């Protein structure tokens, strides 16, 4: 049986922190360059500019592979090979990528430092598998993996923190697109950079449970130096999306966040907006807010999570919803028809029913992200470390009430309504 691997997404921003490791990687890159010429993989030596790019690719790959030596053996490195990554131009271009990066993978495989366990392929119209590689034991002959710690690495800042993506195409991909800077984009970039500065300076700890380097739920590492955030907009429009992404805490399961994260030496509280999207829809419709739980459509607390999924799917849908959204159907009574569930939802929330199927969700997400960014910035100005998490913030427990009030006030300032339900979760004690 073919071994199944969990993919770790390659991170091109890793570099050696210490002069010793930097020197070892440079010597490794030189040996690989000599090997190419000796074995006829190249006909002539690279010029200075090409050599610098080749060495950058080797350094990023070496750092990623060394991290993997501290992980479980069912993890493989997912390396990009797509044209959009390798030859991107403009603000998203990364000097690590290009033909020299692909050459780096090939020569490392030839030397016996890594093994290609899968070549990327497409197995359906909307699904594909990434190329996977793993380090093998011979890596210790070239790089100082014995006693290696992630603290030996540093992570460069993102080349661009303001990302504008297309809507998903036929391959179910969302691709960054270039744009012209305006006063508005410059202001938004400054906001993200300011938050990143605060997060970098914050007193943040991950309690080590003896598991080494951990793979997060999203295929990224749970390590302290993954603090840099990006703001991602969708559908090629600045009015859609805008959520912050990239922090290590976003890769962690809920229970693990409470167990392992410490802010300013304290356990954390999760302060979040409840029922935010439908309440923003009521604000958009200029309708009176419901006094009860918006997601309790049946009126008896049954199926609440399923109604939540269906209601939010209706806000994101562009046109009629033809199929049950994921994780909803199985929670309704057997035999329930989607049409009947939608009609019940429309009766319950008649003031916003005209907004269903209008693809409003991403616009509401933009409002959500604006509110959260203002709230987080306000907390940082009070010297309170706050980690944004979609429609929530993580803070030290002693600051939970301050965060709750800041989020309530920011919602009211933005919408003119005090309908926000801001809850505080301390996790399981």
* Percentage of residues of the chain with pLDDT beyond 90: 71
Residue 153 pLDDT more than 60?
A: yes
Residue 76, beta-bridge partner list: 7
**Residue 407 confidence class, pLDDT cut points 50, 70, 90:** very high
Both ends of the chain: CA-CA distance in Å? 42
pLDDT value at 124 more than 60: no
pLDDT of residue 84: 73
Instruction: Kindly report, residue by residue over 32-83, the tens digit of the pLDDT.
Output: 999 999 998 888 999 999 999 999 999 999 999 999 999 988 999 999 887 7
Structural contact between residues 68 and 75, judged by C-beta atoms closer than 8 angstroms: yes
pLDDT exceeds 50 at position 123: no
Q: Is the pLDDT of residue 172 over 60?
A: no
**Which residue would you say has higher pLDDT here, 96 or 84?**
96
Tokens of 236: 């090629």
Q: Residue 209: pLDDT above 80? A: no
pLDDT in tens, 242-263: 999 999 999 999 999 999 999 9
In sequence order, the β-bridge partners of residue 133 are: 77, 116
Residue 350 has pLDDT above 50, yes or no: yes
Task: State the pLDDT at residue 126.
Answer: 45
- Side-chain-side CA neighbours of 350 within 13 Å: the count stands at 1
Whether the CB-CB separation of 272 and 427 falls below 8 Å is answered with no
Neighbours of 421 (CB within 10 A): 15
Please say whether the beta carbons of 171 and 126 come within 8 A. yes
β-strand partners of 422: 273
Whole-number pLDDT of residue 216: 93
Q: How far apart are CA 281 and CA 362, in angstroms?
A: 12
* Cα dihedral 133→135→138→143 (10° resolution): 120
> Helix-strand-coil percent breakdown of the chain, rounded to 5?
40, 20, 40
CA max distance for the chain: 76
Cα distances from 335 to residues 295, 324, 326, in angstroms, run: 21, 13, 17
Q: Give the confidence band of 1 by pLDDT, cuts at 50, 70, 90.
A: low
CB 22 within 8 A of CB 93: no
């Amino acid at each position: 049986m073919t071994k199944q691997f969990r993919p770790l997404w390659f991170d091109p921003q890793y570099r050696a922190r210490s002069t010793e490791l930097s020197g070892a990687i440079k010597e490794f890159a030189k040996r690989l360059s000599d090997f190419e010429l000796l074995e006829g993989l190249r006909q002539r030596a690279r010029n200075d500019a090409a050599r610098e790019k080749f060495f950058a690719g080797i350094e990023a790959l070496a750092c990623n592979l060394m991290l993997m030596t501290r992980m479980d053996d069912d993890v493989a490195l997912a390396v990009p090979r797509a044209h959009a990554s390798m030859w991107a131009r403009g603000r998203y271009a990364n000097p690590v990528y290009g033909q020299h990066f692909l050459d780096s993978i090939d020569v490392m495989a030839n030397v016996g430092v890594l093994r290609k366990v899968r070549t990327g392929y497409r197995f359906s119209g909307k699904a594909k598998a990434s190329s996977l590689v793993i380090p093998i034991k011979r890596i210790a002959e070239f790089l100082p993996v014995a006693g290696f710690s992630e603290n030996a690495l540093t992570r460069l800042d993102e080349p661009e923190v303001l990302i504008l993506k297309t809507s998903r195409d036929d391959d179910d991909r969302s691709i960054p697109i270039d744009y012209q800077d305006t006063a508005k984009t410059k202001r938004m970039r400054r906001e993200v950079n300011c938050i990143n500065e605060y997060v970098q300076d914050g007193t943040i700890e991950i309690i080590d449970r003896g598991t080494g380097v951990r793979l997060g739920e999203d295929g990224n590492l749970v390590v302290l130096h993954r603090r840099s955030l990006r703001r991602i907009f969708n559908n090629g429009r600045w009015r859609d999306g805008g959520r912050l992404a990239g922090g290590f805490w976003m890769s962690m399961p809920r229970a693990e966040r409470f167990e392992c994260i410490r802010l300013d030496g304290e356990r954390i509280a999760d302060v979040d907006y409840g029922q935010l999207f439908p309440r923003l829809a009521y604000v958009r419709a200029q309708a009176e807010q419901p006094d009860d739980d918006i997601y309790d459509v049946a009126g008896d607390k049954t199926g609440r999570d399923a109604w939540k999924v269906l209601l939010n799917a209706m806000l994101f849908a562009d046109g009629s919803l033809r199929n049950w959204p994921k994780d909803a159907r199985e929670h309704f009574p057997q035999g329930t028809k989607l049409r009947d569930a939608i009609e019940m939802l429309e009766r319950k929330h008649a003031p916003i029913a005209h907004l269903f199927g209008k693809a409003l969700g991403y616009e509401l997400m933009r409002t959500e992200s604006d509110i959260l960014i203002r709230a987080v910035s306000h907390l940082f100005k009070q010297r309170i470390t706050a980690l944004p998490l979609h429609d929530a913030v993580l803070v030290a427990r002693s600051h939970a009430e301050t965060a709750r009030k800041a989020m309530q006030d920011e919602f009211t300032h933005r919408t003119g309504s005090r309908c926000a339900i801001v809850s505080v979760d301390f996790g399981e004690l």
